[in-house]
Amino acid sequence: MTSKPVHIAIFASGAGSNARRIIEYFKEDPGVEISLVVCNKPGAGVLQVASDHHIPAVLIERDRFFKGDGYLPDLEKHRVDLLVLAGFLWKVPEKIIQAYPGKIINIHPALLPAYGGKGMYGHYVHEAVLANREPLSGITIHYVDEHYDHGDTIFQATCRIEENDTVESLSQKIQQLEHAHYPEVIAGIIKKQKPR
Ligand code: GRF
């Protein structure tokens, strides 16, 4: 008897390249279903990604997310088991963290704890890394708690920074690491969390 699939909600605010990779990676996997895309930015590329793959999307509003029900009814309606943040720029409210303990993960485009926290996202991260002439950068996949970029680290991968690297070239290197590793790390978490 096949056990029910694990349902994933992807939270994103931007282009959705990670969301697309994750959707494509699990497309043929009967044990995993990307059930919902949650987005806070009208017109964000990730909404097109959801539409292209016939995945329901919910466009959330600040008040309801932070002061209302946190859209928990939507997550429950889609039987969400795991929340995957992929470029989601709002902090996850306590109400959601309490409802999904140990079930919310995020990817950050730097080697936390360095270069993390409020305001450290996208090109701001790469600018700071380059300005400090770091020899390495990379990605961090971590559990989400009530602070930005702060929960237990699950996985990190690094890339070398060369003299001639720019924000653009570094962002490309980081994105390649993200696309190569995020889906596999998610698959590993699901495997570990599946009841025997
Ligand atoms: C990625 O760099 C990710 O590390 C960060 O936000 C970006 C999302 O990019 N959290 P995309 O929207 O998946 O292309």
- Counting from 1 in the atom list of ligand 1, the atom nearest the Cα of 44 is 12
Domain 6-111+140-157+182-192 annotated CATH 3.40.50.720 = no
Query: pLDDT per residue over 5-56, tens digit each?
Result: 999 999 999 999 999 999 999 999 999 999 999 999 999 999 999 999 999 9
Q: How far apart, in whole angstroms, are the C-alpha atoms of residue 180 and residue 171?
A: 14
pLDDT in the model for residue 50:
98
Which residue CA neighbors atom 3 of ligand 1 most closely? 87
Residue-averaged pLDDT of the chain:
96
- Taking the C-alpha atoms of residue 18 and residue 139, their distance in angstroms, rounded to an integer, is 13
For ligand 1, say whether the CB of 87 is within 6 Å of any of its atoms: yes
Among residues 108, 126, 142, 181, the one annotated as catalytic is 108
The pTM score is: 0.96
Residue nearest to atom 10 of ligand 1 (CA): 87
Quick check: 166 and 133 in contact, CB under 8 A?
no
42-92, pLDDT tens digit by residue? 999 999 999 999 999 999 999 999 999 999 999 999 999 999 999 999 999
Which residue out of 48, 107, 172 has the highest number of ligand 1 atoms within 8 Å of its CB and is therefore the one to mutate? 107
- Taking alpha carbons only, the member of 183, 182, 4 closest to residue 79 is 4
What DSSP string runs through 147-159?
A: STT-SPEEEEEEE
Indicate if ligand 1 lies below 6 Å from the C-beta of 89.
no
Would you state the pLDDT for residue 150? 85
Compute the CA torsion angle 162, 166, 170, 175 (nearest 10 deg). Answer: -150
Choosing from 13, 18, 49, 129 the residue with most ligand 1 atoms within 8 A of its CB, the one to mutate for a pocket test is: 18
- pLDDT, tens only, 99-124: 999 999 999 999 999 999 989 999 99
Atom 8 (ligand 1): residue with closest C-alpha? Answer: 87
Question: What is the whole-number distance in angstroms between the Cα of residue 18 and the centre of ligand 1?
Answer: 6
Domain boundaries, the chain: 6-111+140-157+182-192
Q: Please say if 54 is a catalytic residue.
A: no
pLDDT at 96 over 90: yes
